[in-house]
Amino acid sequence: MTKLRDVAKLAKVSTATVSRVLSNAGNVTEKTRRKVLAAMEDLNYQPNFLGRQLRKMETKTILVVVPDIANTFFSKVLRGIESVANKNGYQVLMGDSQNKSENESEYLNHLRYKQVDGVILLTARTTPHLVEELSDSYPIVLACEYLEGSNIPTVSIDNISSARKITSHLIKLGHHRIAHIAGPKNVILGRDRLKGFEQALAQNNLEIDQILIQEGDFTYESGYRLMKKLLALQNPPTAVFAANDEMAIGAIKAIKHCQLSVPEDIAVVGFDDIQMASIFEPELTTVAQPTFEIGSTAMALLLSLMKKEKLNMKQFVLEEQMIVRESCGAKSNVIDSS
């Protein structure tokens, strides 16, 4: 490994001068600059980042912690993050927490150890306490999920109101007995979407039947399993709101396996608008989050944080959009009523 000092020696200048050439800092004659560049070329010199990072105490790298890389929803958020990061000279690294809070905390240590300059959490299952504590000293942004009653910079949509809207949509279509395949109770998204679901029922004076609320874990399998359970009820639901698209697809699959059809026998709606939502049959009615924008906003926020800028706004709630497709039966309804 040739190092800066070797370049300096060959070019017959000091290490300081080489460093100045390296960082384009100015105050270097064109003549010396050429001499140094030639020496670098000669020795095929590559600066060692560890040295630079140690001195500058920065890595120009940020870490994104994802709960589950297999979930394509997050990949779009990542694209948003990367687009802003790269424009600003930052590298993006990903860590997959695999839905385990231990892994999440593990990744957060990268901050303590100065391995990355900042972190965007697409999941906040770690003890809120830890995130709060770290957030005091290091740049952290939460995206998609958030921490209740916390002041940590956050970018997300209003999950409660979106869930309320899509549930109301089912109610408007004439359903009274609506089930909810919920997300995990320990995840804020799960709790919020449940809350929105319950609010919609309450607003329409519908009773909340606890047996119709089943807690899944955002996977296809749990959607399938819980739907089977709901179908086995004496009085099964006529509509189901699943807390994400994967579970919704699982639910539809379960319904089909019972020789029933969607939306004719049971209407199903999901949440997230993953790619499969528009490919699967029936096409899924769901809530589309502005994924790319969530990512880019989060990264912009993180940049401000890293620059220690004064923030006049730390929490962003972006607009979501309900996308009506086939699985809720609205379209066939429209045709019927026309």
Partner DNA sequence: TTTAAAAAAGAAATCGATTACATTTTTGAA
Partner DNA sequence: TTCAAAAATGTAATCGATTTCTTTTTTAAA
The contact set with DNA (CB under 7 A) reads: 1, 3-5, 12-20, 22-23, 25-29, 31-33, 46-48, 50-52, 54-57
Tell me whether residue 42 or residue 281 sits nearer to DNA (CB atom): 42
Binding partner of residue 257 among a copy of itself, DNA, none, CB cut-off 5 to 8 Å per kind: none
Q: Strands, E, within 199-308: which ranges?
A: 213-215, 239-242, 267-269, 286-288
Q: How far is the CB of 228 from a copy of itself (least distance, A)?
A: 15
Binding partner of residue 76 among a copy of itself, DNA, none, CB cut-off 5 to 8 Å per kind: a copy of itself
Neighbours of 71 (CB within 10 A): 18
CB neighbours of 42 closer than 8 A, spacing ≥ 6? 10
| DSSP labels, 28-90 | --HHHHHHHHHHHHHHT----HHHHHHHHT--SEEEEEES-TT-HHHHHHHHHHHHHHHHTT-
Tell me whether residue 228 or residue 253 sits nearer to a copy of itself (CB atom): 253
Where does this chain bind a copy of itself (CB under 8 A)?
46-51, 53-54, 57, 59, 61, 63, 69-70, 72, 75-76, 78-79, 82, 91-96, 98, 110, 112-115, 220, 249, 253, 275-276, 279-281
Q: Across the strands, what pairs with 242?
A: 181
Q: How far is the CB of 57 from DNA (least distance, A)?
A: 6
Binding partner of residue 75 among DNA, a copy of itself, none, CB cut-off 5 to 8 Å per kind: a copy of itself
Instruction: Give the tokens for residue 90.
Output: 């930052």
Q: Do the Cβ atoms of 28 and 17 come closer than 8 Å? A: yes
Tell me whether residue 3 or residue 314 sits nearer to a copy of itself (CB atom): 3
Tell me whether residue 232 or residue 279 sits nearer to a copy of itself (CB atom): 279
Instruction: Give the tokens for residue 101.
Output: 């809070």
Instruction: Give the tokens for residue 172.
Output: 């408007």
Q: How far is the CB of 69 from a copy of itself (least distance, A)?
A: 4
Binding partner of residue 311 among DNA, a copy of itself, none, CB cut-off 5 to 8 Å per kind: none
Torsion of Cα atoms, 305 then 87 then 272 then 140, to 10°: -20
Binding partner of residue 70 among a copy of itself, DNA, none, CB cut-off 5 to 8 Å per kind: a copy of itself
Q: How far is the CB of 206 from a copy of itself (least distance, A)?
A: 31
Phi/psi of residue 66, nearest 5 degrees: -110, 140
Phi/psi of residue 293, nearest 5 degrees: -70, -35
Binding partner of residue 17 among a copy of itself, DNA, none, CB cut-off 5 to 8 Å per kind: DNA
**Rounded to whole angstroms, how far apart are CA atoms 153 and 143?**
9
Q: How far is the CB of 180 from a copy of itself (least distance, A)?
A: 22
Tell me whether residue 82 or residue 198 sits nearer to a copy of itself (CB atom): 82
Tell me whether residue 55 or residue 129 sits nearer to DNA (CB atom): 55
Tell me whether residue 50 or residue 232 sits nearer to a copy of itself (CB atom): 50
Residue 230 CA to chain centroid, in angstroms?
30
